[in-house]
Amino acid sequence: MEKKNIDWGNLGFAYMPTEKRYVSNYKDGAWDDGCLTEDDKVVISECAGVLQYAQTVFEGMKAYTTEDGRTVVFRPDLNAKRLKDSAERLEMPAFPEDRFLDAIRQLVKANEAYVPPYGSGASLYIRPYIFGTNPVIGVKPADEYQFRAFTTPVGPYFKGGVKPLTIKVSDFDRAAPHGTGHIKAGLNYAMSLHAIVTAHEEGYDENMYLDSATRTYVEETGGANFLFITKDNTVVTPKSNTILPSITRRSLIYVAEHYLGLKVEERPVPFEEVKDMAECGLCGTAAVISPVGKIVDHGKEICMPSGMTQMGPITQKLYDTLTGIQMGRLEAPEGWIMEIK
Ligand code: PLP
Ligand code: COI
C-alpha cells in the first residue's frame, strides 16, 4: 500500500479530509444498507433534531501501522458498544455492533493510504457518529438519523507531544449527577467549550472537573480520564457514574495489573489526595497518556514530583506497554486488535 505524501511527523490533532467516509441512514424504523462515499458534505433540514436539540453521539478510535506493516484498529468492539449505550441514552436508534465493526473495516481499508507509517508517531483517527436528521421543533427525539464515520490522520492531541501539562481546577461543571457525563454525547462537549476557552486564555492546557454535587472528588477533563500513581506505585483512577468510561483507561488498568504487576485502585478520588500523588496522566484515544506536571486550584499549585520536563517513570512504562500493544511490538490480549485485511 503506497502511503500519501503527508508530513506525518508534524501532524497535529486536526481535520484533514480523506478519500472515503461511510454513511448509513435510518428511516421508517430501519437502517439502510450503508455504503462508502466520497461526498464529505451533509445536507439536512434546517430544523433537524441535531441542529435544534443537539441529538448527536459519537466515538473516537485509532488505526495504526504495526511494526510488521499490518493495519490494525484498537478495541473497536468497545467503541461499538459505547456508541450503542450513548445512542440509547439520547433516545436514538443504536447502530448494530456487528455493522459498526464492518463499517470501520471498510472505512479504514478504503483510506489505508492515510494510515500513518510505523514509527511516524501519527495515527489515523476514526470518528463515527449518529445524529438526528429530520425536522423536530417540539422537544422530542427525531425519527430519522444518519450514522457516519470519517477518518483523519492525526498527531499528538496536546501541542508539544509528551511535555507535561498544566491543568486548572475548573469552576465550571461538565456533567450533572444522573445526567449524561457517562456517554459520548456532543452536548457534553458543548458544555465544556466555555470552560476550555477560559482555561486556554489563562494559560492552562486543560481543565480538571470535580464532581458537580460536592466539588470534592476528581472527575475527568474535557476529553480524557485521569490516572494517578501514588508514591508506592499504585495506579489510582477515579470511579464515578458521571465520567466517560474510557477504553484507554480500562486497557491501562489491565496493562498495569497483567503486564506490569502493579496494584490498581478504581475508586472515588478525593481532590484532597492529589497533592500526595507522585505522577498524574490524562488517558484517552486522542490523549493516549499525556503527563500532567502541575495542577492549579485557584492559585494554589500542586507540582507533581515527576516534574515539568518528562513523564513519570510508571506513566512512561504504562505508555510504552500500551503503545507497544497498539503497534504490534508486544503481544496483545485476546481480542484487542482488529486487523484490517
Ligand atoms: N473522557 C472524555 C470526556 C473523552 O472525550 C474521552 C475520549 O474519548 C475519554 C475520556 C477517553 O476515552 P477513550 O479512552 O475511550 O478514548
Ligand atoms: C477521543 O479521544 O477520541 C475523544 O473523543 C476526545 C476528544 C477530546 C478528541
pLDDT (tens digit per residue) in 263-316: 999 999 999 999 999 999 999 999 999 999 999 999 999 999 999 999 999 999
> Averaged over 30-34, what is the pLDDT?
98
Neighbours of 324 (CB within 10 A): 16
Q: Is the CB of 220 under 6 A from ligand 1?
A: yes
Q: At what angle do helices 76-89 and 247-258 cross, to 10 degrees?
A: 140
pLDDT at residue 1 is higher than 80: no
Task: For residue 25, give every residue at least 6 positions away whose Cβ sits within 8 Å of its Cβ, in sequence order, or none.
Answer: 31, 32, 133, 144, 145, 146, 147
Q: At what angle do helices 76-89 and 97-110 cross, to 10 degrees?
A: 130
The reported pTM is 0.98
Q: Is the CB of 247 under 6 A from ligand 1?
A: yes
Tell me the best of 56, 82, 152, 157 to mutate to test the pocket of ligand 2, counting ligand atoms within 8 Å of each CB and taking the most.
157
Q: Is the CB of 291 under 6 A from ligand 2?
A: no
Contact criterion met (CB below 8 Å) for 288 and 116:
no
Among the listed residues 184, 231, 263, 294, the single catalytic one is 184
Read off the pLDDT of residues 115-166 as tens digits, 9 standing for 90 and up.
Answer: 999 999 999 999 999 999 999 999 999 999 999 999 999 999 998 777 999 9
Residue nearest to atom 5 of ligand 2 (CA): 60
Read off the pLDDT of residues 193-241 as tens digits, 9 standing for 90 and up.
Answer: 999 999 999 999 999 999 999 999 999 999 999 999 999 999 999 999 9
Read off the pLDDT of residues 60-104 as tens digits, 9 standing for 90 and up.
Answer: 999 999 999 999 999 999 999 999 999 999 999 999 999 999 999
State the pLDDT at residue 159: 82
Q: Is the CB of 285 under 6 A from ligand 2?
A: yes
Catalytic-residue membership of 239: no
Q: Is the CB of 156 under 6 A from ligand 2?
A: no
Query: Exposed (0-12), middle (13-18) or buried (19+): which is 10, by Cβ within 10 Å?
Result: exposed
pLDDT at residue 114 is higher than 90: yes
Which ligand 1 atom minimizes the distance to the CA of 188? 3
Read off the pLDDT of residues 252-273 as tens digits, 9 standing for 90 and up.
Answer: 999 999 999 999 999 999 999 9
Question: Three-state SS for 319?
Answer: helix
State the pLDDT at residue 296: 98
